[in-house]
């Protein structure tokens, strides 16, 4: 059963609608005691990483999140919150994964935000991508990206620059795209997450 970390910065409806379609059980985590009810967790997020971090700090849930040893999936801004720092608001984040979140540069000559479908290529064999082919399209909406690093990047995308589309450190995973808006492939990824051991 999936626990959704509810702290006021997530697009909960689209995520819960996707989980309902996939018949994946879930509930909301609003206080520390709620973590023990679930065997995996999703951290959603939309908008400004700095503001989302402040809301997460206000929730009092960060120490419990950092201490988790069961599978965790950060989505979009939820993924960025797993990193050390974001250029968005010069924000210090949880530091769970030692990477930085950066703004797409004007020098890249690309439209920002990066919005729409883009190909995602796995850089390693990972159960999160079971039954998902390399080069499958996923749906992105973001102005900030997580730097590519071969140690923690398990899938990449390109938009003027190569960036981390999916990262992992131990039981913590993050996806920059929105699996809940990415059709069959996104649904498969959510099912794969629900089956991680």
Residues carrying an active site annotation: 76, 178, 180
Residue with tokens 């968005």: 88
Which residues are CB-contacts of 3 (< 8 A; sequence separation ≥ 6)? 26, 27, 28, 29, 34, 35, 37, 38, 40, 41, 42
Strand 136-142 to 100-103 pairing: unpaired
| Nearest alpha-carbon partner for 123 in 188, 177, 179, 168 | 168
Report DSSP state, residue 16. H
10 Å CB burial of residue 1 (0-12, 13-18, 19+) is: exposed
């Amino acid at each position: 059963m999936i626990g959704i970390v509810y702290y006021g910065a997530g697009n909960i409806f689209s995520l819960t609608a996707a989980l309902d379609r996939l018949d994946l059980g879930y509930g909301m985590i609003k206080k520390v005691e709620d973590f023990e009810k679930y065997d995996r967790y999703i951290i959603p997020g939309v908008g400004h990483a700095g503001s989302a971090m402040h809301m997460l700090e206000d929730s009092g849930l960060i120490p419990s999140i950092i201490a988790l040893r069961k599978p965790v999936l950060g989505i979009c801004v939820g993924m960025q919150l797993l990193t050390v720092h974001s250029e968005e608001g010069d924000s210090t984040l949880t530091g769970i994964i030692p990477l930085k979140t950066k703004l797409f540069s004007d020098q890249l000559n690309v439209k920002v935000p990066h919005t729409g479908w883009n190909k995602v290529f796995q850089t390693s064999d990972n159960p999160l991508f079971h039954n998902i082919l390399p080069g499958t399209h996923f749906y992105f909406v973001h102005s900030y990206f997580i730097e590519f690093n071969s140690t923690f990047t398990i899938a990449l995308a390109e938009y003027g620059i190569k960036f981390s589309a999916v990262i992992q450190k131990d039981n913590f995973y993050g996806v920059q795209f929105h699996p809940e808006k990415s059709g069959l492939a996104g649904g498969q990824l959510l099912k794969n997450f629900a089956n991680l051991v």
